[in-house]
Amino acid sequence: MKEIERVAQLLAEVNFILITGGANTRRVLRNVNRIAGALNYHCDIFYSYSAIILTVYNKTTEEKETIVKSIPHHGVNFNAISDISILSWRVLEKKLPIEVIEKELIHIKQKSHYNMYVMWFFVSLAGGSLAYIFGGDNHSNYLEFGISFLATLVGLAGRRILQLKKFNVFICWAWAAFVSVCVVNIFRLMVGEEYKNALAACVLWLIPGVPLINGFIDLLTGYIVAGIAKLSYAMVLIFMISIGFYLSLFIFGYELL
């Protein structure tokens, strides 16, 4: 493989790790340009939501190579983003060879993510805490804390089941909202209380904060296509949350007015 092809593959992989880890487009480009410049290359990149088009230029020989990299999914992995940023500065300052950079990227990709069950616990704890905070200084809020904690936990498990079965991501979000709200509604029917704070807090864990924030950042920094795509994706997720929320209220006969 020619060196320029190898560099193109390397930079495409850096883009892939950063984008799928939840980095905004400006941060991705800044890290990629840092590595490319240290290797004596320049790159032009077009970002869409599901793919990138990368063209690499050798500053000395003026050779160029174009590569298209698909982005099949978007997630959140801030550890990988931080590791790539640190690596890019090391490449710039220490002039690391491409062989070392490739090994470092493999190591970053193979790093284990946060333990899923630990994440579930803390996300559920956050959901319960929000329900408690919404109610102010009231001893009955401890019950709403417990209900929201359980609703969030069951919703996480319900979403995971559909994800393992390869359901569409929007269906997963609607189902998760439906399951979480159903847990609160079951307690409402059993005890006879409204539990409005738990009802409001039990689906907040589903709000797509990363694509919303990144979408606005991309728009403000001039990456219009990527920004609109991320915001559109986030809005559809929010719409599906509302569908699941409404269906549960409808089935359990909740009076909206």
For residues 241-252, average pLDDT: 92
Name the nearest CA neighbour of 213 among 84, 116, 76. Answer: 76
pLDDT in tens, 95-151: 888 999 999 999 998 887 788 899 999 999 999 999 888 876 566 678 889 999 999
Q: pTM above the 0.85 mark?
A: yes
- In sequence order, the 6+-apart residues with CB closer than 8 A to the CB of 200 are 131, 134
Report in angstroms the alpha-carbon separations of 83 from 21, 211, 242.
Answer: 11, 21, 36
CA pair distance 143, 131, nearest whole angstrom: 10
Percent over 90 (pLDDT), the chain = 67
25 vs 116: CA distance, rounded Å: 27
The vertex-101 CA angle with 97 and 102, nearest 5°, equals: 115
Strands 64-70 and 41-47: unpaired
Write b or e for each residue in 141-157: b if 16 or more Cβ atoms lie within 10 A of its Cβ, otherwise e.
bebbbebbbbbbbbbbe
Work out whether strand 41-47 and strand 51-58 pair parallel, antiparallel, or are unpaired. Answer: antiparallel
Give the list of residues 6+ apart from residue 217 with CB closer than 8 angstroms, or none: 24, 25, 26, 227
As a whole number, the mean pLDDT across the chain is 90
